[in-house]
Structure 1
Amino acid sequence: MRTGRVGKFTLGLGVVIISIILIRVWLVPTLEKILVSTPEIQQNEKEQETIPNFTEISDIPTKKQVFFDYMTPAVNHQNALILKERNFLKVILANLANEKTLTDAEIFKLKQLTQKYNYSVKKFDDTTLTPLLIRVDTVPARMVLIQAANETGWGSSRFAKEGNNYFGQWCFSKGCGLVPLSRKAGMNHEVASFDTPEDSIAAYMLNLNTNSAYRLLRSMRADLRSQNIEPSAEKLVFGLIHYSERKDAYIDELLEMLRQNKAYLAGL
């Protein structure tokens, strides 16, 4: 009798163990997928929902305020990332000046930085790296915001709404963006699409910091830095002379927008 009871107990225990294993094999991965994927989906949906529909805002002062309020945190975030890179580069230059040997981690990060900023260098020393500071620098937030407003009609353009492109950046591979309705025959450019507006801001800033067309802007900014003067939108906007085919008229328009929207941009 005792042997029979033990057998039944063992059999019952085995059934329980097998059930637990089956639950872990089939149910737990399913739950993990739900727990992992659902918040990500919700987060992406939330990100899309947070982009204001600027077109539907008819009151101009309200539209401007909403536009600036929405764009400013992303602009400041990108400038903070650039400032972090700039401070790292300054530390490296100080260490090199004191004849300190660079660590493998520092060399790796420098390689990433030079590649990002399209800066070719054969070796890392204070002579080769000092000019990189001209590229690794922030862009005045007020200039970024005004140019984004100008390029998109306060966020209402097709390229802003469909491609999160707030600065009219072009790309040149088929399917990389949106085909301009007014594109001339024989041209193959598209207006780049971005996952988020902040991605557009990051690409715009990198463009200003690397493209040869904006060498004047970088030179003006570096000259102001050398005089311990913080570069302002009103001063650096002249470095955008090659941003538009309209040249001087484009600069005058940006300057007028800076003047008209001074109250909205206070504190930036």
Structure 2
Amino acid sequence: MSLLQRIFSTLACCSLLVSSFTLASDKLPLSPDQLSQPYPDIAVTTLHSAPELIAVFKQHDYQLEKIANSSKLPAYFIENLPDDLNSLPVQQKTSGFIRLLLPTIQAVNDQILAVRHQVEVLANKETTEWSSNEKQWIKQLYASYNVKSGDIQQLLLHIDIIPVGMVLAQGIDESGWGTSHFAIKGNSLYGEHLPAHGGKYLTTPGGHVKVAAFDNLYQGTASYMHNLNTTGAYKELWNLRHQLRKQNNLTGYELVQALSHYSTRGEAYVDNLRALITHHKLDSFDNVELDKQQSLRVRFTH
């Protein structure tokens, strides 16, 4: 190959690299509820029982106190629930449920923050500087989050995390520590009814109530957070979250006070969530980061 040919070859490679980088950087993040494949592309470990899961956690030294102290959370994704959590001793059941759900909650929140960050970037640019892809992306977010005003600051009020402690407390309360029929059969931990636009569901005995069902725990968690971030009944939650964020005090214990409309139990529901958060130290995990160097996918067969 001549010197001139080598130069053209090098330039072509550089051009390809730049082109690839541009395409990658132009890719705008999807809301977690829109991800069809949220899990890492690794082999799935198949388990059959809750004791097997506890054994896996022990083998990998996955302990809650260690996570709280190090703020490093292994990316151990449990796709669905075993049907025998109640067979475990109480301490194993409670810590096991928290451990199996924690990475999923963090992953959903991380995806929400990725979307929020990109919206903030666009909010600081003139709309005339937005690309056609960015304009279409924002338009879809307005529709998805039911923001009719076209106000990007209003959109940011909707696109934000639900603190880990609050998600865990609601999952615990609504699913009975992962032992309810709807949690085991439908990956539905948070008491969501079937939304107006339809979808998968399970019914209560007699078929009077349709409860939303999901393919995995990530989708169920993402849908629950999206519900809180879009339904008008939670406007108080959005405003309180905005204030708490400004005060650097966005915790589950503080935010659950805006959930009196979530349950017919009203303030008693809020009191119970706060008791769960306090007793089980569920706000200890607010600042953890997923360590993607430690990845695991677990799926239960029933």
Q: Which residue number corresponds to residue 238 of structure 2?
A: 218
How far apart are the structure 2 equivalents of 1:104 and 1:250?
Answer: 45
How far apart are the structure 2 equivalents of 1:231 and 1:201?
Answer: 19
More helix by share: 1
The alpha-carbon deviation at position 197 of structure 1 amounts to 1.2
* Letter of the structure 1 residue corresponding to residue 251 of structure 2: S
How many percent of aligned residue pairs carry the same amino acid? 31
Residue 146, structure 1, aligned to residue 169, structure 2? yes
Residue 236, structure 1, aligned to residue 251, structure 2? no
How far apart are the structure 2 equivalents of 1:191 and 1:261?
Answer: 28
* Letter of the structure 2 residue corresponding to residue 248 of structure 1: E
Q: Which residue number corresponds to residue 249 of structure 1?
A: 268
The change in CA–CA distance for 1:54 and 1:257 in structure 2 (over 3 A counts) is farther
Q: Which residue number corresponds to residue 10 of structure 1?
A: none
- Unmatched 5+ stretches in structure 1: 1-39, 123-127
Q: Which residue number corresponds to residue 6 of structure 1?
A: none
The alpha-carbon deviation at position 226 of structure 1 amounts to 3.2
Q: Which residue number corresponds to residue 23 of structure 1?
A: none
Matches within 5 A, 1:191-202: 191-202=211-222
Higher relative contact order (CA 8 A, sep 6+): 2
Residue 178, structure 1, aligned to residue 178, structure 2? no
103-112 or 139-148, which deviates more? 103-112
* Letter of the structure 2 residue corresponding to residue 80 of structure 1: D
The alpha-carbon deviation at position 133 of structure 1 amounts to 0.8
How far apart are the structure 1 equivalents of 2:218 and 2:158?
Answer: 20
Matches within 5 A, 1:76-155: 76-96=106-126, 101-121=129-149, 128-155=151-178
Please say which structure displays the higher CA radius of gyration: 1
| DSSP 3-state at the match of 1:256 | helix
Residue 258, structure 1, aligned to residue 273, structure 2? no
* Contact 2:81/2:183 (<8 A) preserved: no
Residue 168, structure 1, aligned to residue 191, structure 2? yes
The change in CA–CA distance for 1:210 and 1:66 in structure 2 (over 3 A counts) is same
- Unmatched 5+ stretches in structure 2: 1-40, 48-76, 287-302
The alpha-carbon deviation at position 48 of structure 1 amounts to 8.2
Residue 204, structure 1, aligned to residue 228, structure 2? no
The change in CA–CA distance for 1:145 and 1:206 in structure 2 (over 3 A counts) is same
The change in CA–CA distance for 1:152 and 1:115 in structure 2 (over 3 A counts) is same
Residues 215-236 of structure 1: CA distance to partner in whole angstroms, max 9, x if unpaired?
1111101122233x23111110
The alpha-carbon deviation at position 136 of structure 1 amounts to 0.5
Q: TM-score, normalised by structure 1?
A: 0.73
* Contact 1:86/1:133 (<8 A) preserved: yes
Q: TM-score, normalised by structure 2?
A: 0.65
The change in CA–CA distance for 1:260 and 1:120 in structure 2 (over 3 A counts) is same
The alpha-carbon deviation at position 167 of structure 1 amounts to 0.4
Q: Which residue number corresponds to residue 85 of structure 2?
A: 55
| DSSP 3-state at the match of 2:171 | helix
How far apart are the structure 2 equivalents of 1:190 and 1:140?
Answer: 27
The alpha-carbon deviation at position 181 of structure 1 amounts to 2.3
Pairwise CA RMSD: 2.6
Residues 101-122 of structure 1: CA distance to partner in whole angstroms, max 9, x if unpaired?
2111111211221122121245
